[in-house]
Structure 1
């Protein structure tokens, strides 16, 4: 099981699911209409390290963080 956390303006409780790669996580999140607007634009970190490939493998206990783009001064 991996934990998905949603940061910034994504108002969603953490989610725990079975996933062997970020591609599995993306597939599940794309099924959620609320996440559709975020999934394509978020940076993604696995265990606090930014990653860019959906082929990134995941291990039990990993934490996946979705970091949406934000504006600020």
Structure 2
């Protein structure tokens, strides 16, 4: 299982999901209406490393973070 964290304004508790790749995880998360609207705009990190492709294998114990865009000043 991988732990998925939803940071910033997504405002959802972390969940543990059985997924073997970011592509598979994306398909699972798209089924949640609260999360699906964020998926296209979020950066994704696996174990604190920003990922640019969904073609990434996940292993048991990995931590995936969804990082929504933010404004700052």
Normalised TM-score (structure 2): 0.96
**Counterpart residue number, 2:15:** 15
More strand by share: 2
Q: How many residues align?
A: 73
5+ unaligned residues in a row in structure 2: which ranges?
none
- Find the residue that maps to 1:19 and give its secondary structure: coil
More helix by share: 2
Superposition RMSD on alpha carbons, in Å?
0.6
Normalised TM-score (structure 1): 0.96
Runs of 4+ in structure 1 over 2 Å off:
none
**TM-superposition CA deviations, 1:21-48 (whole Å, max 9, x none):** 0011100110011112100100000000
